[in-house]
Structure 1
């Protein structure tokens, strides 16, 4: 019985020590630096002129992501000049064996075919996907640059309307960025 209790306590302690923290709105992310579809590392800290970023987690094969591609490009066009460019992150980009249709080669094809005006990055081992608690795509994260890194202002849906033929009533990302401008 003592061995069982000791084992359970040890397993619980061990799993808590190594469980990755999930950041929430109001917390600060120090930096993001990931490989882009252009073959270079895109480092948020190296982007000196911005006030923050609109990060969109998206994949090449997700039907919802495909429906949102034009809206994501519109967000970049609208907010890049105001200091909040879009950066897309592909959660499966670094794993062409398990996720061949969502990995970097397909991300490159989609970025070129669709004419993405924003960087499309691959998330190594789901690092930022896990850190930001992303469970589905597309999911947006709005970050505001501050002295310690990037304050998380919003995590969630881009808007409340997935049908591209309808106009969204609530544009969550736009509302968040507009409050900061």
Structure 2
């Protein structure tokens, strides 16, 4: 397991737009139609990463807890599927159904979206307000595979609560740690 940290995009950055295919529905979807009324959480994940597997249930719970509050979650995988076939779109759909994802699981087949977001690892998290301005980036919480810290999603939950309550997030924003995104060989 590689321990690759987030690149920590500057706060206030506007969410780069994208149009990608949802592996669950088969529909092509754009950020404008997927964003939440109050906030949007975008996470870069993949099927095989132990760091993602470790937090999958919390990702689903987070999405369920905040959906009715106007927060939409969007999952994106950008991995090279030639060298990592377990991350292919048909396998993404299987994982999404198995885990009970209530959010789209999009495939970034050119890796251009991951590059636009300066994503580095899986999982990598970005929280945007209703104007798609970056308010939080970094980790879900302090839990990692094998460290015996419970997976609570507290860092992202706090960021979302700050947006919803129109209060400033004064908490330290720590980088996420995970497997590196599997970039295409050049």
Return the TM-score normalized by structure 1: 0.77
Give how far 1:99 is off: 2.4
Runs (5+) with no aligned partner, structure 1:
1-21
Residues 49, 143 of structure 1: CA spacing in aligned structure 2 closer, same or farther, 3 A cutoff? closer
Q: Match for residue 12 of structure 1?
A: none
How many angstroms apart in 1 are the aligned matches of 2:94 and 2:151?
Answer: 29
Return the TM-score normalized by structure 2: 0.75
Is 1:80 equivalent to 2:67 in the alignment? yes
For 1:130, which of 115, 138, 148 is the aligned residue? Answer: 115
Q: Match for residue 17 of structure 1?
A: none
Q: Relative contact order, CA 8 A, sep 6+: which one is greater?
A: 2
Give how far 1:41 is off: 1.3
1:20-31 mapped onto 2 (5 Å cutoff): 24-31=10-17
In the alignment of these two chains, the number of paired residues is 155
Higher helix share: 1
Runs (5+) with no aligned partner, structure 2:
1-7, 165-186
Is 1:51 equivalent to 2:38 in the alignment? yes
Higher Cα Rg, which structure: 1
Q: Match for residue 69 of structure 1?
A: 56
How many angstroms apart in 1 are the aligned matches of 2:29 and 2:160?
Answer: 22
1:154-173 mapped onto 2 (5 Å cutoff): 154-163=136-145, 166-167=149-150, 171-173=154-156
Task: Name the SS of the counterpart of 2:130 in structure 1.
Answer: strand
Judge conservation of contact 2:55–2:151 (CA < 8 Å) in 1.
no
Task: Name the SS of the counterpart of 1:27 in structure 2.
Answer: coil
Q: Match for residue 151 of structure 1?
A: 133
